[in-house]
Amino acid sequence: MAGKDNQNATKHGASGALKRITSGLPLIGIAKDMQLEVEDALETQGIEAIVCEGATRLETAARLYWGAILKAAEAGDIDTLDRYVARFGWLASKALLAWGQVKQDRRGKKQPLDVLLGKAAPNMPKKRDLSNINDTTGNICPDDSEVSK
């Protein structure tokens, strides 16, 4: 980790970016490059994709910390356990908020899985009941009600 005296991290990394943001200064160096990448992603993918990516990353990090929590507990390392639980709690709560935003953004939109499951088109005709298929021929054997129609 970069210390407080690490000028490179202060000038170009996340620490430097936060200082410049809070001071009202424009970003520089790799922070500026990253800002341009984010702006490009916003324009090409949309905000929902960015929010979903953030939620996924937070959830991933939280799950990794959960695994570390279990190992620290198993080893009886209380200091490490305490530190990991704090980080897990923060990540899990932020992931939950991000997933809530993803859900809200997707509400009412057709999702690929919904289309596959037929949820996106409730007015589509229902599939024909094939429970009365004649196993020997593969033909559908109409019941009396279908024949009389």
pLDDT digits (tens, 9 = 90+) for 39-91: 999 999 999 999 999 999 999 999 999 999 999 999 999 999 999 999 999 99
Note whether residue 74 is domain-resident. Answer: yes
Q: What share of the chain is helix, strand, coil (3-state, %, to 5)?
A: 70, 0, 30
Q: Which structural domain, as residue segments, surrounds residue 107?
A: 17-123
Note whether residue 116 is domain-resident. Answer: yes
Note whether residue 148 is domain-resident. Answer: no
Q: Looking at residue 93, what is its pLDDT?
A: 96
Compute the distance between CA of residue 58 and CA of residue 65 in angstroms, rounded to an integer.
11
Q: 72 Cβ partners below 8 Å, 6+ apart? A: 80, 81, 84
pLDDT category of residue 114 using cuts at 50, 70 and 90: low
Note whether residue 49 is domain-resident. Answer: yes
Count up the domains in the chain and report the number. Answer: 1
pLDDT category of residue 134 using cuts at 50, 70 and 90: very low
Note whether residue 69 is domain-resident. Answer: yes
